Structure 1
Amino acid sequence: MIGKMLGNRYEILEQIGIGGMSVVYKAKCHLLDRYVAIKVLKEDLTNDEEFIKKFRKESQAAASLSHPNIVNIYDVGYDKIDGKDIHYIVMEYINGKTLKEVITEKGKLSELEALDYSTQIAEALKHAHKNHIIHRDIKPHNIMITEDNIVKVTDFGIARAVTSSTITTTSNVLGSVHYFSPEQARGGYTDEKSDIYSLGIVMYEMLTGKVPFNGETPIGVALKHVQDEIIPPILENPNISPSFNKIILKCVQKRQSDRYQNVDELLVDLKNIYVNKNGVSSDITTDETLDMTRLIPPVSDKILNNENKNKKNNINRNTKGETHTKKKTTVVAIISAFILTSLLFVGYLQLRNSFSNDDYIVTPKLIGISEEEARKKAEDMGFELDIVDRVQSSDFEEGIIISQNVEEGVKIKPGYPIGVVISLGSENVEVPNLVNKSITEAERLLKEAGLKLGNNIDYEFHDSIPIDYVISQSIEPYTAIAPNTRVDLVISKGPEVEEAIMIQLVGENVNKAISEIKNLGLAIGDIKYESSDNYAANIVMEQSEEPGSTLKPGTKINLKVSSGPASTPPSDPNVPGGEETPGAEEFSINLTVTPFADKDETEITIIRKQDGDTSTVYTKKHKSTDGTFDIPVTGKKGAVFEVYYDGIFQYSKSIEG
């Protein structure tokens, strides 16, 4: 598609992205003189009626939205190029990065950054939902961040208008597996709260640097969304405020009815963080907090027994304890023991400390030390060490404590259990599928996945995979491996082309010779003109390669062409093809050229045909970064100029006078 013109208006410049249904290009709109992004439906889907229908729905849905946090849709069109059907959408071109790229570069975002981006994404979803459109594929890859930190939600590729029967069939679950909701995984009813769940996963990743669920296969990840409990993000990043932690956990509830019922409710809590000094939203009640924080890792029987024993001496100090049901008391006890963010637990310990300073232990710092060292401290100081969970972490080596549920410096009774989470080492990452991707796209996907391009890049001929696209990879797709592992690739050199056998060009007309050179898969070299009494004008006198010689494809062929006898008298200007009278007026015109965007250099050649004479008036190599520019040429009225890029004819232009 590079260099093609869609709708006689949009010039395709470069590929900037690829998705499940389409390829995205950067293009130049010559009518309005601006850059745009064009999403083109993949070629293998153009004969699929179902995909064509979805593509058109995407166009209609996205075009109905107008919001500063949603990518604008400018045009929707269809064209036919080289006999192929091209369905495309013209969109606002965003000069920035995807949120996924931002997270990959920074590891994790600050709470202020995450709060800013989350609010803008929520505003975009609010507008879409009010227009009865569910995005259904909210993920960092579909969220652009401009250079001014403005969020632009894009790719409504699977959005559709909300109806009373919005059902996702189990045979065609849509959405990205790491971010879609349990109802999408089950193939059930999807609504606005499905987008809220996905946004919750995005917020989780922004603050922790990773998604909550991972696995060896997409189906395995989907099952975790349905069955597994999410580890509260504050356990992965203790710097998260309790209020933001609660917001995320409410967004990712398994049941739709337990989440925020609409984006307006979510925006209230997000904005309250700015104005509340402690970062606790006034709209989140104690009962709601209990509902959210019950999503914790499995708790061992030993921990439950310890908490029940301490409950008798500690929880009943709260005068409201008598009125709580046994179920709520147990939940509060579990929360107090294992959720680092529980302000109730810390407040309770501080209250208990105020009663007596006798026989208390000051909690030591356990984060950053080994399990063995922590057990020795527990034995020496008289507290009990309980292992709450073991999780993978890229920040801590295996066996090192990454969090504790009682803060350093808090006074506790001897024998009181301190729960800790221990690192299993770096979390494995999933190898992306790189086959049939360009080498540029493959390198980007590896970087996003936390992997690196291998040192061994081999090139082989391939009949069906285009040049510079991946044939195979050294590690199978979807394999879980350690971060920063290098993946070697085999890249296509395109179909193997047989060598060309040079033919006799001497005695041929120069135009026919040029055509023959191209048909052989060879390139046009220098064309020089000299006067000759033995050859008529425009007849080839010499060729740089002998007839019968074996040549590699792309070899340049130089020609020496006759300009006719040195003292040919001027012909009658009234005879077609004859010369005009000496001293005829010459004119100057500009020829607009654009070097190939997908090549480092392009040789631009301009041939002038005038008065029956053909001559090369310009030949020079230009870099792709030179962009579009004009080349001035001169000639007489009726002169025709032909423009060639690397020997390939582009267009012609004549002087009208």
Structure 2
Amino acid sequence: MIGKILGNRYEIVEKIGGGGMALVYKAKCNLLNRYVAIKVLRPEFINDKDLLDKFRKESQAAASLSHPNIVNVYDVGEEDGVYYIVMEYVDGKTLKELIKEKGKLSKNEILDFTRQIALALKHAHSNHIVHRDIKPHNILVTEDNRAKVTDFGIALAATSSTITNTGSIIGSVHYFAPEQARGGYTDEKSDLYSLGIVMYEMATGRVPFEGDAPITIALKHIQEKPEPPSKYNPSISKGLEAIIIKLTQKEQSARYANASALIEDLYKIKNNFDLDDIDNTLKIEDSPTQIIPMVTANEIRQLTDSQDEVKTMNIKNKKGKKDNSKKDNKRKLVIGSAIAAALVAALVFTFAFFYISDLFKVEDVKVPNFVGMNIEKAEKLAEDTGLRLNKSTEYNSKVPKDEIINQTTREGMMVRKGFEVKVIVSEGSKLVPVPDLRNENATNAERLLKDAGLEPGEVSEDSSDEYPIGTIIDQNPRQGVQVATGSAVNYVVSTGPKVQTFPMPNLLGKTLEEARSILKQFKLEEGSITEEYSDVYVRGYVMEQNIPADKEVSEGSVVNLVVSKGSDVPDQMEEIEEGEDQEGTQSSGTSTKSISINLEEYTGIVDIEIYQINGLKSKKVYSEKHNADEAKGPIRVNVKGSGTQQLAVYLNGEKQEPNVEVNF
């Protein structure tokens, strides 16, 4: 494995440890440029479906936890048959190695390490995770003396089955609780028992129970009381010894109720201390996690029989060593004693057999499905089944009040009679008061509702002379009304004062000045002003408007205008007939008149245009260029027409005021 790269980023550097099911390597994460620890399932187990499931459970259990006293899990994967978990690399030693180095730890060391482990367990238990393999091999101690719990390989969520009913049990036999040995119900108190054994080893340098085989040690956990720690460490304080004894009680109910209660007692006797720096070396475990058969009552009887047989042999050996001369005299006494001893042994064996059989005889019942059931009906069903309900409540808007939302022990699971099933009962929707949204800016409405546990509903708009634009002017439900959490609140947003509308005035045929005056009168905005040629409208008069006349408009509307530039094709003027009187000789109903035009204010060439105005129509009747410098005063130009006409005079494109009225 050394040099292998997993997941295209983790380069295996060295092997740093191992256990019964997996090996641990130090690796470098090439992506984040840091060292990590990679736990790899041993090759011999990759075809074992059960072990693969347990390996996956470890990653799921540990990944859900985040605590300074728990080793973090970063990643999990599988590559070419290699199943691995990427964890935080802890530069330090295991607690087991520390105990081996020192033999016995000081009172302050025991208290400090125990407190940190208990804090980690408190966090795990609050997330419904039971470790089930607490031992000093699974406690890493960093260089700054921080204890970190690792290896959740057989951890089990408290919401799943916590009874081993497969005929085998997993764990480290020197440290697991009596209920684990029996394959019974395990819970948070099972972890506390294992922690008590770890404390025992820290205080004495040894575990309380030893044996030639795992089954022997398991039986001792069930049957025997450990020797008081003070027997091996007379200097241990009474308070510390009392904590260890309480943690290692056979009955779960006699132990601490939870990790918090243990931490409180630890604080009562804790003193400050310092530790030397710790090396980073991890060894192969000498107490590996194992799968061993469940300890049965038959095995307990067999162990009892073998112990009685050894005692009988010792008695016979001792009697055989006595003086042969006294043998004959006491033969009857020996035989009588042997018979009596056999009878006593038989009575003890018989009593033990029936007592232990009763002890392990537990009636199993199947857990029904309580979810969706009314609590009263559920309690009746639990009583009929032989179970007890441990009720907690929470608000839930989707589940009716007094109906069970969830149960921590799954349906169909076999448990002992009298088992306590935890259920969560709905209190219905939580009622909260509606906040006052009026006078608030609409942009703040969603935040205010979210803070109150509510949701924004339908948003509408309306005009208001009282509230500025964007301000909430009304809401439904009203302020202070009690509604269910998550309910929607509708509100109305102001669009400002109501706008008055009126018909658009007609500006066609008006001069630009007249049109501007009308726009100002109606509080309309002047837009773009453009000019175009027109054979219909006289130059300088409005010929188009972008908003048609009589269309409904409001104050402030923008109006664009097009103003006439006059005709773009000059009319051909009829030449004055030769001999005609320049002052007005009539010909065929028309006559020619001379008009005086003053060019005193102009210099150079002046473009003179004259239009005959007839209502909205106009006709160009004169277009010539004159030299103002030569004119030296007013000039006269001849214009042809008939009747009385209004003539508009333009000099260099500028209209001269007023118009000239001529009688032809």
Q: TM-score, normalised by structure 1?
A: 0.41
Q: Relative contact order: is structure 1 or structure 2 higher (C-alpha 8 Å, sep ≥ 6)?
A: 2
Q: Based on CA coordinates, which of the two structures has the bigger radius of gyration?
A: 2
